[in-house]
Chains A and B, each alone.
Chain A
Amino acid sequence: MKGQAYGVRSIGDGNDAPAIYSAIQAARQMAITEERPILIEALTYRVGHHTTSDDSTKYRPANEIEWWRLTRDPVARFRKWIEKNGWWNDMAESQLINNLRQQARYTSLNPLIDDNWIPF
């Protein structure tokens, strides 16, 4: 609703990756070809705490958090879709997770090694 207050075209979407992809792709096209601004409102939920300095269970119920984390998870939803298309499987999932863990482990063992300002 705020878009119209400024004379800006708008649309809303959220935890649906293809919907977001489609909306942004179309918005980008309009913005460039028509030289106008576009507003997209992505409805979603902050599952984690605000930051490590915040304990969000102090001001919102745990069951609300769990509901969004389990039932509305955008990653799980998208996985179901690509699996249904035959583009993904459990094996690929395991390989990806292992690969990422190794990269994370490697990075943590060598802190700041690529920072240019540290003379060697």
Chain B
Amino acid sequence: MASWLLGRSSRILIHQHHHLHKKYLPFLLGPFLNHNNSSCSSFPSTEPFRCRDAFPGKNSSPTLFRFSRHESTKAEAQLELEQDVATEDEPNQVIDFPGGKVGFTSEMRFISESPEKRVPCYRVLDDNGEIVKYSNYVQVSKEMGVKMYSDMVTLQTMDNIFYEVQRQGRISFYLTQMGEEAVNIASAAALAPDDIILPQYREPGVLLWRGFTLQQFVHQCFGNTHDFGKGRQMPIHYGSNQHNYFTVSSPIATQLPQAVGAAYSLKMDGKSACAVTFCGDGATSEGDFHAAMNFAAVMEAPVVFICRNNGWAISTPVEDQFRSDGIVVKGKAYGIWSIRVDGNDALAVYSAVHTAREIAIKEKRPVLIEALTYRVGHHSTSDDSTKYRGTDEIEYWKMARNPVNRFKRWVERNGWWSDKDELELRSSVRKQLMHAIQVAEKAQKPPLQDLFNDVYDQIPSNLQEQERLIRKTIEKHPKDYPSDVPL
């Protein structure tokens, strides 16, 4: 049974819906027009991230959805999400409910837990880096395309170097973006500097795009005195007021309802900007995800939710995370416009985020984007992912589905990039990073006082007392105190 939510403010939305449909119809139809070219089309619908044909002999994994039916009450499998499941007996038989008018049906029909046909995945570039025929997308200029590609390469290089630096014990922790470079950079490219970013942790590409220097990334990872965060958080917890990038925190999904509040504030201030928040597939299982989605819809907040569905939450595969058709269908449950995109297609991500941003700001409403991708790297330097997934699966996504390589083919075909440019870029970034690491390693750690500053705006007397006590202890045991941390 479908219900149409009606409230005072929503009456206007009903009208806007019709208007919006006309304006954005060509774009919104894109995903469906390109269904046959979906990057998911080569997979059986029940195994979006594993393909038995591609990996003969591999143990079969449990299917995502069970389609068994109870005989006396067969659940109707929906052919598409938009199907109207209400069957009205008579034209005038409706319940005029506080939640809106709902038609009656005399047939006891349960809505299937999942549609037979999955929500299609919007795609612009095929694996060969060619524009899919009849594709509807937002054009990218040469300057934009080259910068996008350059930043994707920079992210890759950062990952390779930082990962090794952690293995050498020079930094305590690191987390790579391998396989998710397109989601990072293309999203950032589609946004404006005034848009406020609330990241999870695997989105430093957005900060890179906005001008955070390689040196600053390194300073944070080393936790030295030049780190904006004053060395208080573990590596990769970047933040920058200047770049409207909220500081990362470890608890999963907490930033989602915060993003809704920030978006509501932007709306109240009449800003032509939106909040953009990122999360992984695992975050959608947190209660804060539910709170954020509902608040965003009810408060009509201009926020864009970008979910990186990379198939894994550390060692937990998506089939143990949810039994829905991924995350895109969750938007409808809250009354939020949603779309599923190929996260390894930079142009598809760019187009979807660009349009979602426009919708959020102009219509003052939330939008949900599910970017299907794959976590090629380990979850973090504390993880060995070969313990719970096959190396052939990793290699497949790393080689055949690589987002950086796919985009490179496109910019090369446009005549915007060459092998010479590639060599120069990779060499240059590598040198910059090596230099940045040398600088960071020689820099001092933050002073002891910074352990007590910024807990509150002013240091209360009890914290002052604690600082005095620890200094007294250090005076007694000077050899036990690290020599590179100033007093």
Instruction: Spell out A's residues near B (CB within 8 Å).
Output: 1-14, 19, 22-23, 26-27, 29-30, 33-34, 36, 38, 41, 43, 45, 64
Contact of B112 among A4, A6, A26 (CB under 8 A): A4
Contact of B111 among A11, A33, A43 (CB under 8 A): A11
Contacts of A23 in B (CB 8 A): 108
Once the chains bind, are A6 and B323 in contact (CB under 8 Å)?
yes
User: Can you list 27 A-B pairs with a CB-CB distance of less than 8 A?
Assistant: A2-B333, A2-B334, A3-B113, A4-B115, A4-B324, A4-B332, A4-B333, A5-B324, A5-B332, A5-B333, A6-B322, A6-B330, A8-B323, A9-B75, A9-B110, A10-B111, A11-B111, A19-B108, A23-B108, A26-B110, A27-B110, A29-B73, A30-B70, A30-B73, A30-B110, A33-B70, A34-B70
Q: Closest approach, in angstroms, between the C-beta of B438 and any C-beta of chain A?
A: 50
CA of A14 to CA of B108, assembled, Å: 13
Once the chains bind, are A34 and B108 in contact (CB under 8 Å)?
no
Once the chains bind, are B95 and A43 in contact (CB under 8 Å)?
yes
Residue of A nearest to B97 (CB): A43
Can you list the 6 inter-chain pairs with the closest CB atoms, starting with the nearest? A7-B323, A12-B1, A5-B333, A7-B324, A2-B333, A5-B330
The answer to the question of B98 belonging to the interface, with a C-beta cut-off of 8 Å to chain A, is yes
Contacts of A4 in B (CB 8 A): 81, 111-115, 324-325, 329, 332-333
* Residue from the set A3, A4, A34, A38 with the largest chain B CB neighbour count within 10 Å: A4
Q: Closest approach, in angstroms, between the C-beta of B148 and any C-beta of chain A?
A: 33
Once the chains bind, are B108 and A1 in contact (CB under 8 Å)?
no
Once the chains bind, are A11 and B330 in contact (CB under 8 Å)?
no
CA of A13 to CA of B109, assembled, Å: 11
The answer to the question of B2 belonging to the interface, with a C-beta cut-off of 8 Å to chain A, is yes
Say which size band chain B's interface belongs to. 20 to 34
Once the chains bind, are B333 and A1 in contact (CB under 8 Å)?
yes
Once the chains bind, are A11 and B108 in contact (CB under 8 Å)?
yes
The answer to the question of B443 belonging to the interface, with a C-beta cut-off of 8 Å to chain A, is no
Known: A1-B3, A1-B332, A1-B333. A29 touches B114 (CB 8 A): no
Instruction: Spell out B's residues near A (CB within 8 Å).
Output: 1-3, 65-66, 68, 70, 72-73, 75, 81, 95, 97-99, 102, 108-115, 322-325, 329-334
- 13 more contacts with CB within 8 A, not counting A4-B114, A29-B72, are A1-B2, A1-B333, A4-B81, A4-B115, A6-B323, A6-B330, A7-B113, A7-B323, A8-B323, A10-B111, A26-B70, A30-B110, A33-B70
Residue of B nearest to A26 (CB): B73
Residue of A nearest to B327 (CB): A5
Contacts of A3 in B (CB 8 A): 111, 113, 333
Contacts of B330 in A (CB 8 A): 5-6
Known: A5-B329, A34-B68, A36-B66. A43 touches B99 (CB 8 A): yes
* Residue from the set A7, A11, A36 with the largest chain B CB neighbour count within 10 Å: A7
Contacts of A29 in B (CB 8 A): 70, 72-73
Known: A6-B323, A6-B324, A7-B114. A12 touches B72 (CB 8 A): no
Residue of B nearest to A27 (CB): B110
CA of A22 to CA of B322, assembled, Å: 28
Once the chains bind, are A36 and B113 in contact (CB under 8 Å)?
yes
CA of A5 to CA of B109, assembled, Å: 18
Residue of A nearest to B285 (CB): A6
CA of A13 to CA of B108, assembled, Å: 9
CA of A36 to CA of B70, assembled, Å: 11
Contacts of B2 in A (CB 8 A): 1
CA of A71 to CA of B110, assembled, Å: 27
CA of A102 to CA of B110, assembled, Å: 43
Contacts of A6 in B (CB 8 A): 113, 322-324, 330, 333
Q: Closest approach, in angstroms, between the C-beta of B480 and any C-beta of chain A?
A: 53
Contacts of B331 in A (CB 8 A): 5
Q: Closest approach, in angstroms, between the C-beta of A5 and any C-beta of chain B?
A: 3
Residue of B nearest to A16 (CB): B104
Residue of B nearest to A45 (CB): B98
CA of A41 to CA of B98, assembled, Å: 14
Q: Closest approach, in angstroms, between the C-beta of A80 and any C-beta of chain B?
A: 17
Q: Closest approach, in angstroms, between the C-beta of B190 and any C-beta of chain A?
A: 26
Contacts of B323 in A (CB 8 A): 6-8
Contacts of A22 in B (CB 8 A): 108
CA of A2 to CA of B329, assembled, Å: 9
CA of A19 to CA of B72, assembled, Å: 15
Contacts of B324 in A (CB 8 A): 4-7
Once the chains bind, are B109 and A11 in contact (CB under 8 Å)?
yes
Residue of B nearest to A29 (CB): B70
CA of A9 to CA of B78, assembled, Å: 12
Once the chains bind, are A43 and B70 in contact (CB under 8 Å)?
no
CA of A33 to CA of B71, assembled, Å: 11
CA of A70 to CA of B218, assembled, Å: 71
Q: Closest approach, in angstroms, between the C-beta of B250 and any C-beta of chain A?
A: 26
Q: Closest approach, in angstroms, between the C-beta of A116 and any C-beta of chain B?
A: 39
CA of A64 to CA of B2, assembled, Å: 22
Known: A4-B113, A4-B114, A7-B65. A12 touches B70 (CB 8 A): no
Once the chains bind, are B1 and A41 in contact (CB under 8 Å)?
yes
Once the chains bind, are B113 and A12 in contact (CB under 8 Å)?
no
CA of A14 to CA of B96, assembled, Å: 12
Residue of B nearest to A31 (CB): B70
Contacts of A5 in B (CB 8 A): 324, 329-334
CA of A30 to CA of B70, assembled, Å: 6
Contacts of A34 in B (CB 8 A): 66, 68, 70
